[in-house]
């Protein structure tokens, strides 16, 4: 009887792990879309892309919130406060600082700093929770780290010499802040989900969308007023810039797919995988973003990039296999 129970528990753990990895992969595919918007809307400032995205996220969430209203009423004041902090840090602060970092320092350095997220989250999570021995985590962390360095190798060679030292250093500092913001978010998000098993991943994703809406609305309004008052020529003819229809279509798609659906899928992954592994699975976002970028740029990856992608995939496989054989 005891052997049968142990086998059933192990099967459930394996099934949970498969569900979690699949959800993380799907979330990465959704989040990769975020990196397409700046490429398709190069004339739009980072603030408008950020607040436009999260305004759409909040608006898309409204009908879902009405459907989920009974479950949302069960959340406590402390739950809503945490949802607000998660949205402020993991949504708005992260995307604003990342966008500003790229504008100040160019893309290569911030990309490399943000690209370390899978390693940083896994390390920070295991430092706090000690879910696994470092020997079990180290091989996959090394492979992912080498993969990230390889993917960014070509860009690092082409660092933009036109950046002034002050702007470059400020961009690097903002990229570190963005990295810290999205290191804090998944760890605290996963802790809440595990501490509240009676609440669904959809309810928690919807709650974060609801609290994001007023913040995004105020931010978007302030941004538009600022651009009009400063006489920005991009907003002379329209409040919503030179391509208003394209802008809002992209914001709605990203607001639903990358923000609400991506958050829902990530919540499912967080519930079904250990945080140390979940952090590594963010690598799927990097892979998706690279794939979408190659499509937009209409080019194939370089040799360094191909090697990096192979190492990233291998690192995830090694991590999943190592942790699947442990007591989760």
Class of residue 192 by CB neighbours under 10 A (exposed 0-12, middle 13-18, buried 19+): middle
Is the distance from CB of 192 to CB of 82 less than 8 angstroms?
Answer: yes
| Selection from 212, 258, 309, 215 nearest residue 35 by Cα | 258
Residues of the chain with pLDDT under 50: 1-9, 11-12, 327-328
Report pTM. 0.77
User: DSSP labels for 81-134?
Assistant: HHHHHHIIIIIIIHHHHHHHHHHHH-SHHHHHHHHTHHHHHHHHHHHHH--S-H
Token pair 């963010």 is found at 282
Task: Single out the residue of 283, 219, 245, 271 nearest to residue 55, CA to CA.
Answer: 219
Query: 321: which residues sit within 8 A by CB, 6+ positions away?
Result: none
Domain ranges of the chain: 46-323
- The confidence score (pLDDT) of residue 77 equals 95
Neighbours of 165 (CB within 10 A): 7
Which of these, 137, 114, 121, lies nearest to 186 by C-alpha position? 121
Contacts of 24 (CB under 8 A, 6+ apart): 265, 266, 269, 273, 278, 281, 282, 284
Q: What is the DSSP letter of 76?
A: -
Strands (E), the chain: none
The answer to whether the beta carbons of residues 229 and 284 sit under 8 Å apart is no
Residue pair 64/262 in contact by the 8 Å Cβ criterion: no
Buried b (16+ CB within 10 A) or exposed e, 59-96: bbbeebbeebeebbeebeeebeebbbebbbbbbbbbbb
Which tokens go with 176?
A: 């570190």
d(CA 140, CA 163): 35
Which sign does the torsion angle of CA 117, 121, 122, 124 carry? positive
Element (H, E) at 53: helix 46-67
CA-to-CA separations, 219 to 36, 48, 245, 277, in angstroms, rounded? 22, 8, 20, 34
**How far is C-alpha 53 from the chain's CA centre?**
13
For residue 106, the model assigns a pLDDT of 65
Query: What pLDDT score does 230 carry?
Result: 87
* pLDDT at residue number 310: 84
In this predicted structure, what is the pLDDT of residue 313?
78
Q: What angle do CA 28, 30, 32 make, to 5 degrees?
A: 65
- What would the two tokens of residue 32 be? 């990769």
SS3 87: helix
């Amino acid at each position: 009887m005891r052997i049968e129970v142990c086998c059933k528990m192990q099967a459930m753990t394996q099934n949970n792990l498969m569900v979690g990895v699949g959800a993380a992969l799907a979330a990465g595919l959704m989040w990769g879309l975020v990196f397409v918007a700046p490429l398709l809307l190069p004339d739009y400032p980072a603030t408008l892309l950020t607040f436009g995205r999260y305004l759409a996220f909040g608006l898309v969430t409204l009908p879902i919130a009405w459907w989920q209203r009974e479950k949302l009423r069960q959340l406590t004041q402390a739950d809503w406060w945490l949802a607000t902090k998660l949205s402020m840090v993991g949504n708005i602060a992260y995307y604003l600082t990342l966008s500003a970092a790229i504008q100040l320092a160019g893309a290569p350095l911030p990309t490399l700093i943000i690209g370390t997220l899978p390693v940083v989250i896994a390390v920070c999570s295991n430092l706090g929770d000690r879910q696994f021995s470092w020997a079990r985590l180290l091989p996959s962390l090394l492979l992912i780290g080498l993969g990230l360095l390889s993917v960014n190798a070509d860009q690092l060679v082409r660092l933009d010499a036109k950046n002034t030292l002050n702007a470059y250093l400020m961009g690097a500092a903002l990229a570190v802040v963005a990295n810290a913001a999205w290191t804090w978010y998944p760890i605290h998000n996963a802790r809440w989900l595990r501490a509240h098993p009676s609440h669904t991943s959809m309810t928690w994703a919807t709650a974060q969308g609801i609290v994001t809406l007023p913040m995004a609305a105020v931010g978007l309004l302030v941004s538009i007023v600022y651009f009009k008052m400063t006489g920005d020529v991009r907003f002379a003819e329209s409040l919503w810039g030179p391509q208003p229809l394209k802008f809002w279509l992209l914001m709605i798609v990203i607001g639903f797919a990358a923000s609400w659906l991506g958050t829902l899928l990530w919540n499912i992954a967080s519930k079904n995988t250990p945080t140390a592994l979940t952090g590594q699975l963010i690598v799927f976002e990097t892979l998706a973003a690279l794939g979408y970028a190659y499509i937009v740029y209409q080019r194939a990856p370089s040799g360094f990039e191909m090697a990096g992608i192979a190492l990233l995939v291998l690192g995830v496989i090694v991590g999943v296999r190592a942790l699947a054989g442990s007591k989760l």
